[in-house]
Structure 1
Amino acid sequence: MYEKFSRKRMIKKPIPFRRLAPNMITSGSILCGVMSLVLAFHRHVVPAVWLIFVAAFFDLMDGKVARSLGGDSAFGMEFDSLADVVSFGVVPGLIFYVSYLYAFGGVLGALVISFYVLCGALRLARFNVVHSSGNFQ
């Protein structure tokens, strides 16, 4: 009897495209961020920086698509913030570290970029929990 009940519970409705499309675009932003991390790690700084711009394009488009399709969700907002931390926090920090701070004194340079990434993550977390009236914050 328990198997029959759990099988019924596991059957779920398919996710509508209007909810899926913005998250697919956000996935493109995370993909660009991770690829940029790998390139920066191997000291290919210029292509890594270009991928940040591609991630910015994806970040711009996911919001536009979500608003136009009416597919915005709490999950999408959190997923977008995670993509922003990776693409616009961790990646620029690592690029700056690889380009300028590595020779400065490994651990001290790592602390400097860690502070930058932490500030960016805290700002995005605050943005997700503080709601203000109006369309733009």
Structure 2
Amino acid sequence: MSDAGQPPLFAPTVAQIERLALEALGRLPDPFRSHLSNVVLFVEEFADDRILKEMEIDDPFGLTGLYSGRPVGEAEQTGDSPPTVHLFRRPLLDEWVETGVPLDALITHVVVHEIGHHFGLSDVDMQVLEDMVAS
């Protein structure tokens, strides 16, 4: 008996979420990919309390991803940390279960949205980019 088409028996791990995120980044068109070499990707269980407080989010399940850093084109300042994209595993998994959206599509959506901040894209531009990456 084959398990093909069956849902996983265990929730995806941090490493599996990271792999899906890296695959999404790899599908970005070249003009975008070429500006991502200094962006650091983190996958964590939840956003820390400091981030939630700064963003005025009470529920730790309310934040699936976050971009930190200066957008492309802004002058770097001495002492700047590299730009980062954080994905938060538990909120992503909750949204996956609640919406029924395939996990790879959900992670692609969040990754493109956060990378969109790196490029200073509008929501409309992010949607166009997401459509390109999903194809």
Give yes or no for TM over 0.5. no
Task: Specify which structure has the higher proportion of strand.
Answer: 2
What is the TM-score with the length of structure 1 in the denominator? 0.29
Structure whose alpha-carbon radius of gyration is higher: 1
Task: Specify which structure has the higher proportion of helix.
Answer: 1
What is the TM-score with the length of structure 2 in the denominator? 0.30
